[in-house]
């Protein structure tokens, strides 16, 4: 079992102690009266809740991936769930498991790159794997137009999976996704910087990565009672491990706001660093969770990704990140099973060398520290 709940303040490689998201100024003083808190009030003020939020990379369903799902479904249906079976424990053990849907899901015949359409059965696999909510604002959100957005929402609704980032109405866009977990209201917001060159059918169809809109939505979520606000951003330069100037500027603007707890991101198809900005964690890029990308078309690292596990402590001071674990993953070809690279390197002799190499690539980019650790923390020599 992973020790996910360290009641500590995150200290990264720079060696500085950082309190993530702790708000509030100096307490007011009043000389004329002393207010004595009742026991119930003291218990509420002293209550500490720890949550683990899971976030992961692109569900990028190229044609070979859905073709394999059709094989797993006996040729008559699409069964994506076995592709995620080896990582399911990390999803199910989280209090708030979040996924990122890159491609639209409609009943029309499936297609792959460059204009995607994914079988709606993916939504069932998302639910069966254990994800509770998914971000849907991505490069390919508009590949099937507004119909694709509506069908994707319908598929997720039928599967019982919450969603945010693309919408069927202006009213839906104005309503932040908020989940109550262990008595804490957690908001999840989703935005994309690009839409495959396709204009949005309506201003509300897909959330765009504008600092003004993100901050307005975060304020709305706080007004609706959210104690934690997680922002998901589809951003960056493809196949580039270092954050772009746009990513850095937007992250700096957002993390200055007391409304934002943490940022997680996808899009570039390889892993990017986890950094601290203005006392808050920014997971710039989690790579692909599943895709057909390999060194045959793309960087070798496009077969890598990571599952990020954010431990959040919520108390009377607010919410802050107190530990980050990340699970390096590797997509095995040609069966497209997603493996926890470090764990599988110990148990899968046939692929041990490539799994170890994948794990080491990811750790080299993301790093480790006393309160930032890969899973497993080390591989045997």
pLDDT in tens, 269-298: 999 999 999 999 999 999 999 999 999 999
Nearest residue to 281 via CA among 254, 242, 244: 254
Q: Is 35 part of a structural domain of the chain?
A: no
Q: Is 13 part of a structural domain of the chain?
A: no
Name residue 100's beta-bridge partners: 58, 135
Is residue 352 packed enough to be buried (19+ CB in 10 Å), middle (13-18) or exposed (0-12)? middle
Nearest residue to 315 via CA among 32, 4, 6, 22: 22
193 close to 234: Cβ distance less than 8 angstroms: yes
Q: Which two tokens stand for residue 18?
A: 């950082």
Burial call 196-227: b when 16+ CB within 10 Å, e when fewer: eebebeeebbbbebebeebbebbbbbbeeebb
Q: Is 26 part of a structural domain of the chain?
A: no
What is the domain-level CATH number for residue 260? 3.60.21.10
- pLDDT exceeds cutoff 50 at 143: yes
Structure confidence by residue, pLDDT tens digits, 208-222:
999 999 999 999 999
Residues near 61 by beta carbon (within 8 Å), at least 6 away in sequence: 102, 103, 110, 112, 116, 118, 122, 290, 291
Distance CA 253, CA 27 (A): 27
Q: Is 279 part of a structural domain of the chain?
A: yes
DSSP one-letter code for 95: S
Q: Give the pLDDT score at 21.
A: 33
206 close to 165: Cβ distance less than 8 angstroms: yes
Sheet of 280-283: strand order equals 177-181, 184-192, 228-234, 262-266, 280-283, 274-277
C-alpha distance from residue 227 to each of 53, 187, 209, 224, 312 (Å): 13, 8, 22, 9, 11
Average pLDDT over residues 169-181: 99
Structure confidence by residue, pLDDT tens digits, 73-92:
999 999 999 999 999 999 99
Domain that holds residue 113: 47-374
- pLDDT exceeds cutoff 80 at 45: no
Helix pair angle (121-129, 145-159), 10° resolution: 40
Least confident range from 82-96, 127-141, 156-170, 364-378: namely 364-378
Average pLDDT over residues 43-61: 91
Q: Give the pLDDT score at 95.
A: 99
Rg of the chain in Å (alpha carbons): 21
CA atoms within a 13 Å half-sphere pointing along the CA-CB vector of 104: 29
Q: Is 14 part of a structural domain of the chain?
A: no
- pLDDT exceeds cutoff 50 at 16: no
C-alpha distance from residue 7 to each of 4, 312, 321, 324, 347 (Å): 10, 9, 9, 12, 32
Q: Is 278 part of a structural domain of the chain?
A: yes
Q: Give the pLDDT score at 369.
A: 83
Is residue 15 packed enough to be buried (19+ CB in 10 Å), middle (13-18) or exposed (0-12)? exposed
Q: Give the pLDDT score at 160.
A: 99
Number of domains in the chain: 1
Torsional sign, CA 299, 192, 19, 324: negative
Distance CA 270, CA 319 (A): 29
Name residue 187's beta-bridge partners: 178, 229
Q: Is 10 part of a structural domain of the chain?
A: no
H/E segment holding residue 129? helix 121-129
- pLDDT exceeds cutoff 80 at 46: no
Pairing assessment for the beta strands 318-331 and 338-340 based on DSSP bridges: antiparallel
Q: Give the pLDDT score at 181.
A: 99
Residues near 77 by beta carbon (within 8 Å), at least 6 away in sequence: 70, 121
Nearest residue to 376 via CA among 344, 351, 333: 344
**How does the average pLDDT of the chain come out, rounded?**
91
Q: Give the pLDDT score at 193.
A: 98
Distance CA 366, CA 275 (A): 8
What are the two backbone dihedrals, phi and then psi, of residue 293, each rounded to the nearest 5 degrees? -75, 135
Pairing assessment for the beta strands 274-277 and 280-283 based on DSSP bridges: antiparallel
pLDDT bucket at 18, cuts 50 / 70 / 90: very low
Assessment of whether the complete model's pTM goes beyond 0.85: yes
- pLDDT exceeds cutoff 80 at 43: no
Q: Is 38 part of a structural domain of the chain?
A: no
């Amino acid at each position: 079992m992973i020790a996910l709940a360290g009641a500590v303040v995150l200290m990264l490689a720079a060696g500085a102690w950082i309190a993530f998201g702790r708000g509030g100024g100096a307490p007011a003083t009043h000389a004329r009266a002393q207010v004595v808190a009742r026991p119930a009030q003291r218990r509420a003020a002293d209550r500490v809740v720890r949550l683990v939020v899971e976030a992961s990379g692109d569900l990028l369903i190229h044609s070979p991936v859905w073709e394999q799902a059709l094989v797993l479904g006996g040729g008559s249906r699409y069964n994506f769930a076995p592709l995620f079976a080896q990582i399911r424990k990390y999803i199910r053990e989280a209090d708030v498991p979040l996924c990122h849907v890159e491609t639209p899901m409609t009943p029309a015949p499936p297609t792959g790159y460059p204009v995607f359409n994914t079988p709606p059965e993916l939504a069932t696999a998302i639910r069966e794997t254990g994800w509770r909510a998914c971000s849907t604002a991505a490069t390919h959100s508009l590949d099937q137009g507004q119909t694709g957005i509506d069908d994707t929402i319908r598929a997720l609704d039928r599967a019982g999976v919450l969603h945010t980032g693309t919408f069927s109405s202006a009213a839906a866009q104005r309503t932040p996704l908020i989940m109550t977990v262990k008595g804490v209201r957690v908001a999840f917001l989703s935005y994309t910087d690009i839409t495959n060159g396709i204009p949005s059918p309506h201003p509300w169809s897909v959330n765009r990565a504008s600092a003004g809109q993100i901050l307005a939505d975060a304020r709305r979520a706080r007004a609706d009672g959210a104690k934690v606000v997680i922002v998901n951003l589809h951003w960056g330069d493809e196949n580039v491990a270092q954050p772009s100037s746009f990513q850095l500027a937007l992250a700096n603007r957002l993390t200055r706001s007391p409304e934002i707890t943490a940022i997680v991101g996808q899009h570039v198809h390889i892993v990017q660093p986890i950094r601290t900005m203005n006392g808050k964690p920014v997971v710039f890029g989690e790579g692909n969770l599943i895709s057909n990308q390999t060194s045959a078309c793309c960087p070798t690292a496009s077969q890598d990704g990571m599952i990020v596990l954010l431990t959040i402590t919520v108390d009377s001071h607010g919410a802050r990140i107190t530990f980050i674990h990340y699970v390096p993953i590797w997509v095995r070809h040609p069966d497209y099973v997603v493996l926890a690279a470090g764990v599988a390197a110990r148990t899968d002799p046939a692929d041990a060398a490539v799994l170890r190499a994948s794990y080491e690539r990811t750790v080299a980019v993301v790093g480790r520290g006393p309160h930032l650790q890969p899973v497993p923390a080390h591989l045997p020599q």
